[in-house]
Structure 1
Amino acid sequence: MQGLMLTFLMSLTLLYPALAGEYQAGTLVISDPYTRTTPPMASVGGGFLGITNSADEADRLTGAQVDFADAVEIHEMSMTDGIMKMRKLDQGLEIPAQGRVTLEPGGYHLMFIGLGEALKAGEQHAGTLQFEKAGEVAVVFEVRDITTMQAPPANNAPMHPEAMDTGYMPAQVHDQHPPAETRK
């Protein structure tokens, strides 16, 4: 009986990181991957997580794939002249040696493009992160209810959709916002 109990406890110890939303690939630890609920007609969504690198050399997040979107891009949002701007990181995102990078709303994030359907709270979706050195890491993105999440501070600056680089978005997304000069 003790042997069975010990085996059970050991298996829980090995499973705990995945159950807690933590994944390891070599010297990288990926923690808490999640996305947020989306409205029924949304064609894009965001992905968020933490990446810790315990190696003495940098690695690079170069791409990702998920089971609920046509494409995934790595993006950065930053404040420029009082306006929040978003841009695609064509070269990926460096994970510094002995460092941590957090992908979060209002900063670095994964952009899920071409959502097949609305993301609903409580769902879990498979994904794969691609790293230059660590290779591919399978993760699960938890869908969290956006209405219960607290928004991060944005330096009290307004977000202007017309200032964002949204060239990757389908035409119907662009059509939702008329040009600034036609708005009243």
Structure 2
Amino acid sequence: MFVGAIVYGRGASNHLGRPYGLDQTQVAELVRVALTDHAAPVTQMIAATLRQLRAASPGLRLVVSFADTTQGHHGGIYQAGNWIYTGTTDPHTLSYVVHGREIHGRSLRHLAVARGPGETAEEFVRRTIDPHVRSITTPTLKHRYLYPLDRAMRRQLLDRARPYPTRLEVSPRA
């Protein structure tokens, strides 16, 4: 028994499966592991949810997840669950400063859903919300882990496997 949630979704990008030859209906992202009180190991709970996900989604072939080094994570729960580590994401993310607060580029685009034809999200926000909006590049190194849901997919991905990172290789944001 545990208190919390293990959440799967389509992921932040509709191209999540493209590098693996999969369309959006064949791949999911383990989006969040948020647990408080639990007696069972986290990897055991994730394994149980993966079995449920596989049974409920017969066309699903792959689950992707990320460990965010800026949060001090290295992916130990994925390593313990025998996920395939494939390296890191792009080490820099384009963010924006709006009214003195840093927001992710995706959040900026959500603010700008009513922009005019040919107008960028940044131009819309500058025109309607904050005339001083500016872009910044922030380091957001994330470790990428893959969990194939069938043997053929596992075989296809094994050549992408890299050695697991250690906790010492994590570089939390200063």
Q: What TM-score range do you get, normalising by the shorter chain?
A: under 0.3
Q: Which has the higher helix share?
A: 2
Q: How does the TM-score come out when normalised to structure 2?
A: 0.27
Q: Which has the higher strand share?
A: 1
Q: How does the TM-score come out when normalised to structure 1?
A: 0.26
